Structure 1
Amino acid sequence: MRPLATSTLALATLLLGASALAAQESRNSESDAEWLDQCRNGRFGSRWDGGHACEVREVPVRRGVRSLAVDGSAFGGVSVTAWDRDSVHVSARIQTMASSDAEAQRRLGDVHVAMEGGTIRATGPRGDADEPRWVVSYDVWVPRHMDLDLRTRNGGVRVSEVTGRMTLETENGGLALHGVGGDVHARAQNGGLSVRLTGARWEGAGLDAETENGGVRLVVPERYSARLTTGTVNGRMRTDFPITVSGSISRQFTLTLGAGGAPVRATTTNGGVIIERE
């Protein structure tokens, strides 16, 4: 054994529950309003200097679903957050680009977002691969236990406080996982990987997450228990607390945190790895 050096939840209950739900709905609507304001004022840093238009649409999802898929194969990311309701809310945030604002506004009618066969997807006019005519991102609220299949081509994927079976893939965008659990498989091709663990241990089968081109940031609670695997092929590693590794340190290594437990794997091929404790 040898150490890797340190470098850097009656009536009162009902009222409280109603208040919490109202607060969640308020945060969601505020979030959509903020997005519209930013979009209409061109504060997204796009290279596009022509006309543009913005719109938020609610995508109908039947009650009682226990799994959700989003095909974000066009341009745009997906953010999924848990709430204390037995329903799913999906906001599709649409931005169109054209030679004038009037043309961009008309083009909003050419973009269609719907749930078909259990999958939410957007369709619209074909555009240039480097400068799209339209972008759809998704802000999704789901029950705390939900199976997810989220795939994007040009946009990030973020999941917060959800437990379930998950397949998360992005081709050009980052992955951010905060307080998730279950059987989670996550892949990024070009983008960073951020994992924030919560609680005392991983709840579920485990996490298998990796990125090909991007750094890894892993935040671990102080008394967390897991069997952690991490590493990089081309990049540096840093941890801000002492850890003990069994055997030799190579491109990947496994260590036991606390009493051990479910496997938690977060690795990269090209990028650094930072492990932090909170």
Structure 2
Amino acid sequence: MSLIFLDKIKEIKMRINFLTKILPVGLLGLFILTTGGCIYIDAGGFWGAQVKYERTVPLSAPLAPGSKFTAQTHNGSIAVSGAETEQCSLTATITGRAPNDEDARKIVEKTQVTLESSGDKLNAKIKKPYLHRRQSVCVDLEVTVPVKTSLDLATHNGNLKIENINGEIDGVTHNGGVVLAQCTGNLELETHNGSLNGREISGDLQLLTHNGKILAAYSQSAPPVCDASIITHNGSVDFTAPLNFSAAVTASTYNGSITTDLPLMITGSFSGRKLTGTIGDGQGNLHLETHNGSINIR
């Protein structure tokens, strides 16, 4: 395996270890509610009676194919789909919660969502008001961009859904799942509490979660050589390779089994829970790892 690929794996493991250490502390005193795309976390006790106020904000801006779109929301989900277009169309759903109608409405009205352009980059910017105890705001984003667009997406409490994109994709959430469909490019997705599901994908791949299963299914038209690193702590790993797949393979689990439907030549010892080997000519790299769960290679 290349040194660069091994360095990436070491970096991912360090992040997993860090998250494992802080998890018990982070869970103390947290009360989590989920509604729609939003996840509410209360560190101060019961929410009590809550009033919800909601409005939608439609926005659009020019966005040429080959550009980059970025978005960040703390509470809320982000869904991006590619289309044959030369603009970005965004719908923001703003949901405010407070003990009374007036405060909930003020929270929503004071929350601003704008599209700001800089060179070949378009940024969805969200400005939220100061929130008092028992107040919250969630901003869900539903976005359409050109198929050939690179993405940089981040949320803390919410899901990520990306489909029909050809470009580099970076996506991070802490509490939420990640779904990829028909995406091509350098794909890097991460969550802490949630599953990752990628179908009909192509290109180099890096998927990381702490609590959740991972499914990664390459398109049968994808190139046979890629670098893929898939790591979870609690969950199974299911990997479907492209046709004529060629890679050096490492796979390990602590509580689980490893199975493969592909002809894999073992180059080291195989205990049923850890293996090293090659598929095809071993040109690419495939690293699969879980602590509690099984690994399937198809």
1:120 aligns with 2:140: no
Distance in 1 separating the partners of 2:239 and 2:282: 16
CA deviations 1:212-265 (Å, max 9, x no partner) are x33143242685524274644443135474764512236653454466653343
Q: Name the residue aligned to 1:68.
A: 69
The alignment partner of 1:182 has SS state of: coil
Map 1:1-278 to 2 at 5 A: 50-64=50-64, 65-72=66-73, 74-116=74-116, 118=121, 119-126=123-130, 133-142=136-145, 143=147, 144-202=165-223, 205-211=226-232, 213-220=233-240, 223=243, 225-227=245-247, 229=249, 231-237=251-257, 239=259, 241=261, 244-246=264-266, 247-249=268-270, 252-257=274-279, 262-268=284-290, 270-275=291-296, 277=298
**2:68 partner amino acid:** S
- What TM-score results when the alignment is normalised by the length of structure 2? 0.60
> Cα distance 1:76–1:209, how it changes in 2: closer, same or farther (>3 A)?
farther
Count of residue correspondences = 232
> Cα distance 1:244–1:182, how it changes in 2: closer, same or farther (>3 A)?
closer
- What TM-score results when the alignment is normalised by the length of structure 1? 0.63
Q: In the TM superposition, what is the alpha-carbon distance from 1:133 to its structure 2 partner?
A: 0.8
CA RMSD of aligned residues (A): 3.8
**2:69 partner amino acid:** L
CA deviations 1:8-63 (Å, max 9, x no partner) are xxxxxxxxxxxxxxxxxxxxxxxxxxxxxxxxxx6679776622233443443432
- Contact 1:57 / 1:91 at 8 angstroms: preserved in 2? yes
> Cα distance 1:128–1:76, how it changes in 2: closer, same or farther (>3 A)?
farther
The alignment partner of 1:103 has SS state of: helix
Distance in 2 separating the partners of 1:138 and 1:200: 31
Unaligned segments of structure 1, at least 5 residues: 1-41
